[in-house]
Chains A and B, each alone.
Chain A
Amino acid sequence: MNAPVELPSAREVCPTTTRRLLAEGALMVDVRELGEVAQVAFDVPGVLLMPLSELQERFGELPRDRELVMVCQVGERSLKATYFLMYQGYTRVANMEGGLFKWARKGFPIKGAAPVAEPATSGCCGGSAASAPASSCCTPSPASGSTCC
């Protein structure tokens, strides 16, 4: 197995910033398992499904020359995926904090039933802001903080 690497804090972005990054050409990578995706999915053109359980075998499919935004249900598995890709030498990768819950809460497009349970999260991008423009709220921030703006 490989030697240890001292990783910097992962870059974390909120759903609003994610939408802006997607508009600029970023690729959304959903690491939830396929059964979860079947229930409710990000309604984003071109979203790539790569369950965390397959990431180790399949990460080579991910482009290194394109911004990647890793997503999952609440932002924890995708953070792990983000660090894994950083370990593998990816530099253009960010984690969407809050995951699908936060995305849906902001009124951003999903397919399927809206998630009913929601984890207790805090941060500046909370609340309903379905009409917020994609560039309005957040800028990327390191993973060490709990806020995104």
Chain B
Amino acid sequence: MSTTQAQGPVAGAADYLDQRTGIATAVKGFARKIFPDHWSFLLGEIALYSFVVLLISGVFLTMFFVPSMGLVEYTGPIASMNGQLVSEAFASTMKLSFEVRGGLLMRQIHHWAALLFMASIVTHMMRVFFTGAFRKPRELNWMVGFILMILGLAAGFTGYSLPDDVLSGNGLRITDGVIKAIPLIGAYMSYMVFGGEFPGADIIPRLFTMHILVVPALILALVGLHLLFVVLHKHTQYPGGGRTDKNVVGFPLFPVYVAKAGGFFFIVFGVIAFMGATMAINNVWNYGPYDPSPVSAGAQPDWYMLFLEGSLRLMPGQTEYVIGGYTLSLNVLIPAVVVPGLLFTFLAIYPFLEAAVTKDKREHHVLDRPRNVPVRTGLGVGFLTAFIILALAGSNDLIATHFSLSINAITWTFRIALFVAPVLAFWITKRICLGLQRKDRELVLHGHETGRIVRFANGEYIEVHKPLNDQERWVRVNYDAHKPLEIEPREDSRGVRRKGFKKDQMLQKLSRFFFEDRIEPVTPAELAAAHSHGEHDQLESHAPAAQLAATDGGAVLSDHTPDDHGHQH
């Protein structure tokens, strides 16, 4: 069979399609689109691929799940549930786990994929945050990503509640409590959500609609928008020689990234399938069918909601007040509404906040090294510290049993740590960043230490420093050290107070917080000065390697005076 014949039908079909859609241009454009190479750019792909796995496994589960709270008697292979009165949702979850071929595997794949989806979104967000990839023109895409994260939480929450086991019912009960804590309208809202007194008979069908229709449709649409923005903005790249805000250095989509991304999809699918096949997750038959009375020890939400659980566990319970017959449950409102509100608001507005305090209107396509923006990096680490402390507080009972500690002591430690540790983490991170920047400056000005000690004729010892190569230097000197904002005075030349001064003043204060401590990058003038002045510096950075090498390793340079060196180049 000749090659032309083999290509015949394919080429024919492609031509047919192209003549009718003009798709060749698009394919050509995409195939040649350049993407920069870095492992951290694959973190977002993990989220995308686990979402694909979620869709596929989710469709399978939908075939067997019955979203109803009607009661039936369970009969099946699980002895501990036999003959018990359970909801149809629970019974169908049991049935699809034990009586549908491959059902349990699919359920476990679905759940692990959900956990991985959220974990990869968080890791991806951390990468974007710490490298400043959210700066202009990508602020909107950060918002899209942020909303995707919230939708991911919503998808996880609605799915977690569907099997109607004791654990998921406990989660719903907390939700009910949070809704009821909303002043004045809380009770009405709860009746609306649950279609009557908790738990009612409506919540599972409602959550089901949200879980399989509304939330995934929104996620799918926003994933499309998210990726469209990536194509429109082009991908960011890490700093390095030749990489600027006006170019993209990397490889074409076809064949390099098609192969890499395609392969990575199967790796992600493989890891999820491996976990689904070997590690049990959410064994609903352990918890039993939901009934509002029991709560078992170790009742916690999935990890991405654990911070909320921790926030509730840390809050002292005395802050519930009855005012004129109305209950104000600050003990629930603060931990379940105010705390996540603060955390999420910080995430959502951060790009705009930073744009405001830098007044930077330029486009940025080269990423920041985290050390070069110490306050941002510090804030990020502080934020993560608070999040992790809350998540640990949500696991305080397991920490108590596994490390033989008193749960009361743990709770108090976390209560204090929640306020102290993020500040400490911020401060320490900022100092480390500044230290690393100083180290970079030092390195650029003086070069690498070589460990070679040289003695001059006059008896002076110096250590020979090897200058940085161009790539090393580029990475260390190409960054902006923003200065605090300068604002116009309160009154103009005619002594009239101007509008907006107060706001400017606040921005200036914030800007000072961000940029008061900063390490300026080495300027060409400083570099030149370091190379040409001073007896040590000139030798340290420019002692020609060839010349020293000629003296054979550690031998002394006794026949050269420092002055001689100064004239050799």
Whether A associates with B in a native complex is: no
